[in-house]
Amino acid sequence: MISGARGTALLAGTYCVQGAILLLLPGRVGDALGAGTAPPRWLIRLLGARLLGQGLLTGLRRNPLVLRLGSGTDLAHAISMAGVAALAPNYRRAAIASATGAVGTAVAGAALARCPQSGALPRR
């Protein structure tokens, strides 16, 4: 099991990679979701920017508070995507994919926030 500083760095990297892909390649992400089921490119980019920012903050401010706030943000995103999946059948596939990823990172962030030395950088 990965925990502590390594886990926090891995989570931060995951956010950054996801965010960069969504921000830089929204068309490819949309194509992967299938015709007529992808949200607008601007919305894919917006989510990418949020994830990239969250990853940078998580990586630069490695502490339990940031991990808990990130976990809460991911949980709120997952709940909103459940609503989209229920109310907008055209976007259901994208919403379920996004919610699934958000639940995964929310659980990881919450678990890491509970670890002793949840990623705090060594003092110099």
- Residue 75: which of 45, 98, 48, 44 has the closest Cα? 98
Residues 56-115: tens digit of each pLDDT: 999 999 899 999 999 999 999 999 999 999 999 999 999 999 999 999 999 999 999 998
Whether the CB-CB separation of 11 and 105 falls below 8 Å is answered with: yes
Burial, 8: exposed, middle or buried (Cβ in 10 Å; 0-12, 13-18, 19+)?
Answer: buried
Q: Give the DSSP per-residue string, 8-33.
A: HHHHHHHHHHHHHHHHH-HHHHHHHH
**118 band by pLDDT with thresholds 50, 70 and 90:** low
**123 band by pLDDT with thresholds 50, 70 and 90:** very low
pLDDT at 38: 84
Residues 8-31: tens digit of each pLDDT: 999 999 999 999 999 999 999 988
Residue with tokens 């992967």: 32
